Amino acid sequence: MQSYSDSKPGGATFALFETEHLKANIRRALVEAVLSPWQRTFLSDVLSKLERYGNRARLSHKQLLKLNEILGGNGTPRQDRVTTSRTTRHTRRPRFRSPSFLSRQIRWSRRRLARDAVVVALIVMVGLLYSVFETGPVQSFLGTVGKSSHVMGPVDQAFTVTDGDTVHVAGERAGTRLVGFNTPEKFSPQCEYERKLGERASSRLRELVKSPNLQLTKVPCACPAGSEGTDACNHGRSCGVLKVDGRDVGQILIGEGLAVPFICEGNRCPRTPRPWCGQQS
């Protein structure tokens, strides 16, 4: 009975019968088959591993593919490369109708890779859903309809709060960086105090946008000409000014100690100010 098992991700082990069978076929290939220097070295390395570790030896997906390529799907040397030591005539071995253990190992390894990809995708989706719900209910703001992030001027569309100085307009690929100020980082802080202050700035901005009188105005980013809307300009984000009851939210957050001024001129910005880790909480 042929079987295999996996004890760790990223490889496969063989049952005792399969290990001995594979070792015998590798030895035969090293003696009978016409092999390139690389193939001979590869088979010798695999044979050494099998002899040292027995059925506890682990072979990667790439190694299984190479074995299948050299030996054939049934674990025996490929017929177009093998000659016997007694005659120069090519031998033809009977075809196996049942799946070989090498083929099953490769299929299993591919299924595991596909399963891992699905798990990663699910984790990413859960993270995205969490970030959407974590930003709170979607808010609306006043102004004229603007579908594109390249259109400068007032926009009437739903958005979510990402952090203290960034919002995300519904339907846009990237967020909108609010200009004129910088708030502490909560996602990549330099210290615990900055993270806590960044959480407070985000919470405060969510409170401010509950006002029925909101206006977000898209403005040009301080980037080189022609780079607006690309990753080379502000990480692909657009830029804007958000006002609550006619007041710039940046000035409100600065006045409450939750932000500092950050003024760009032309197509250049100074170094992003982050003074919070030098302060006491």
10-residue mean pLDDT series, the chain (281 residues): 40 68 86 87 88 81 82 56 41 44 71 82 76 44 36 72 93 92 93 95 94 91 84 87 95 96 89 85 47
Q: What is the structure's pLDDT at 274? A: 93
Domain-wise residue ranges, the chain:
4-118, 139-278
Q: What is the structure's pLDDT at 90? A: 45
Compute the distance between CA of residue 155 and CA of residue 140 in angstroms, rounded to an integer.
10
By DSSP bridging, strand 214-219 and strand 153-155 are antiparallel
CA 110: distance to chain centroid?
19
CATH 2.40.50.90 fits 139-278, yes or no: yes
**Statement: the pTM of the whole predicted model exceeds 0.75:** no
